[in-house]
Structure 1
């Protein structure tokens, strides 16, 4: 028997890079797959790992390159990761690095591009539901899977702490969510589409334009703003997962991380929901 082909590496390395140019931020999120070939035959055939680079090390190389190169486009970033792997490990013959980009479009608030708030490209679906009997009808509009983030102006502090608590307080973090929102109509507006647009814009203006002490804090104030913007709605219900971007620990590599490189993760996540009415 002979080993005909071998490769290994690390997949689904999700990394968010934040480049801060004063108040204006740029965000770049990639899901990276880095696969190696080279002198690793004995790991497969003789249980000998002496020339094998740990896949966890491959993941760390992605984070280190992210810290050193916060503005590189996907192609150049993948090339830099591959080059680092080849330069660092003589036993590596080829490094195949693939990056799938999650595109974030800069949010426009009151006609101006926001410096640090973004929506997911190709984002969300509008929803409408009518429940009608012979005597009455109710109409509910909304948005599903509407994803947005801001790269600063969010914190989490002064919460319950006990022996089970491990999360640290922060006054500067990425706040991101994929929102399901519905609003119930008390009466028909002159123009549903225009009214729905005002509601969406009011929700995002509060999220982007004010400091968030928690997602709970933001959701309540977003609901208040939607009710103020459109008098024809009676209630607003917002359900939002807290999509986490966790600060990568680069200290073992002698690098600082001033809120620039984040590990992107969807699971587990906080789930926050509320209904705001008049």
Structure 2
């Protein structure tokens, strides 16, 4: 029987990098998965492990590269890690590295961020993913579960009606979502952290300042704004599930709906996705 494809590696390698070369420390906590492809067929078909790099060794390499580059931005770190595998092991053809960040923000003391004390930032989980071979590299940054809402300036009208339609149109509804987004780099920005922050800033600006006739249009406008603001991004993919807030009928109690009381629910939810690229 032919072995069609294979890969292996180490997942959930958790590392906290602390840059402490001056009084103001920086922290970056990651959960890393490193997957290798190459000349490993014999391990599967013959039980010959002579070319297999132990997954424990892969974990150790992640830790070593983290120690050698404590201050590297996440996008740079995964590149350095991929280079380590490709440069050290001639029989490794490709590396896929995904690193998801647990974000920490500085504790505010008297209006200023503290030098070395942090609190967990719970909104959204940044990640980077690098697919690297000896010929090329594909680097994607993104965020999962970034949650935001607005209480007006959103509607849903003029959609297809037939015998299955029960949803009532409205020009004014609450719009909430937990956004997953990823963006493909075609160039290297002056700062990945700064460029990534610009992506979020542009998304929130569009969301907050434009009327939304539907999630679809809002996603497209966000994509347009991001590509205009960050020239090093080739394309962006955005997925926004509706986090529904359903009006509560209080008419049995002599109270009309005034847009103030809702029941939160996220199952089932609308799932809207799109990719916007440069022309």
Residues 164-243 of structure 1: pairs in structure 2 closer than 5 A: 164-243=164-243
Consecutive unaligned residues in structure 2, runs of 5 or more: 1-120
Q: SS of 1:258's equivalent? A: coil
CA displacement at 1:252 relative to structure 2:
1.4
TM-score between the two structures when normalised by the length of structure 2? 0.56
Q: Deviations over 1:214-243 (max 9, x none)?
A: 000100000000001100000000011011
TM-score between the two structures when normalised by the length of structure 1? 0.56
Give the equivalent residue in structure 1 for 2:25.
none
Give the equivalent residue in structure 1 for 2:158.
158
Q: SS of 1:149's equivalent? A: strand
Q: SS of 1:148's equivalent? A: strand
Q: Distance in 2 between matches of 1:165 and 1:220?
A: 25
Q: Deviations over 1:42-71 (max 9, x none)?
A: xxxxxxxxxxxxxxxxxxxxxxxxxxxxxx
Give the equivalent residue in structure 2 for 1:113.
none
Query: Please, what is the CA RMSD of the aligned residues?
Result: 0.9
CA displacement at 1:158 relative to structure 2:
0.0
Consecutive unaligned residues in structure 1, runs of 5 or more: 1-120
Q: Distance in 2 between matches of 1:142 and 1:191?
A: 15
Residues 77-156 of structure 1: pairs in structure 2 closer than 5 A: 122-156=122-156
Q: Distance in 2 between matches of 1:181 and 1:128?
A: 11
Structure showing greater relative contact order (alpha-carbon pairs closer than 8 Å, 6 or more residues apart): 1
Q: Deviations over 1:97-155 (max 9, x none)?
A: xxxxxxxxxxxxxxxxxxxxxxxx72011111111000111110011111110011000
Q: SS of 2:211's equivalent? A: coil
